[in-house]
């Protein structure tokens, strides 16, 4: 019974972060918000606060506001930058290499300009450059 409740709690947390009816505006902010709701909010939550030590918070994150190239590599290839947290305490993030350069740029710009973050936008050209370089070894 205890493990059944734990599974139910995990499913409820994931569903709580899922996005609802996204507007499909033409500007990058709407696109970034839509990509975030579709692919990121289930783990990082709608408010960017994450889930305890398993899914890191994006709100006020030095990693999110730091080097955009390292952030792009994390999203595309799962190359985790140093976050000053033990690696085993954070669940592995899926690789989103299949997203377009425009979508990666839009979602990272959204994350870098929301949740208390105020970093510069990420461009599709920056994403393309990291993609062309491939995953760092």
From residue 133, how far is each of 23, 83, 99, 107 by CA, in Å? 33, 22, 16, 20
88/119: higher pLDDT: 119
Show the domain range for 82: 2-19+27-133
Q: How confident is the model at residue 8 (pLDDT cuts 50, 70, 90)?
A: very low
Q: How many domains would you assign to the chain?
A: 1
Q: How confident is the model at residue 95 (pLDDT cuts 50, 70, 90)?
A: very high
133/82: higher pLDDT: 133
pLDDT per position as a tens digit, 34-55: 999 999 999 899 999 988 878 8
CA atoms of 20 and 82, how far apart (whole Å): 32
Identify the CATH number of the domain in which residue 97 sits: 1.10.760.10
Task: Quickly list DSSP for 65-93.
Answer: HS-HHHHHHHHHH--PPP-SS-GGGSPPP
């Amino acid at each position: 019974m205890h493990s059944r409740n734990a599974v139910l709690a995990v499913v409820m947390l994931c569903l709580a972060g899922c996005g609802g009816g996204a507007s499909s505006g033409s500007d990058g902010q709407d696109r970034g918000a839509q990509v975030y709701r579709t692919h990121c909010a289930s783990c990082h939550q709608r408010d960017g606060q994450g889930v305890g030590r398993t899914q890191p918070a994006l709100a006020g994150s030095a990693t999110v506001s730091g080097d955009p190239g390292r952030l792009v590599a994390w999203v595309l290839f799962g190359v985790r930058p140093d976050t000053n947290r033990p690696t085993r305490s954070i669940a592995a993030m899926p690789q989103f290499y299949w997203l377009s350069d425009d979508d990666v740029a839009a979602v990272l710009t959204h994350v870098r300009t929301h949740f208390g973050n105020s970093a510069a936008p990420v461009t599709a050209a920056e994403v393309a450059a990291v993609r062309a370089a491939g995953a760092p070894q």
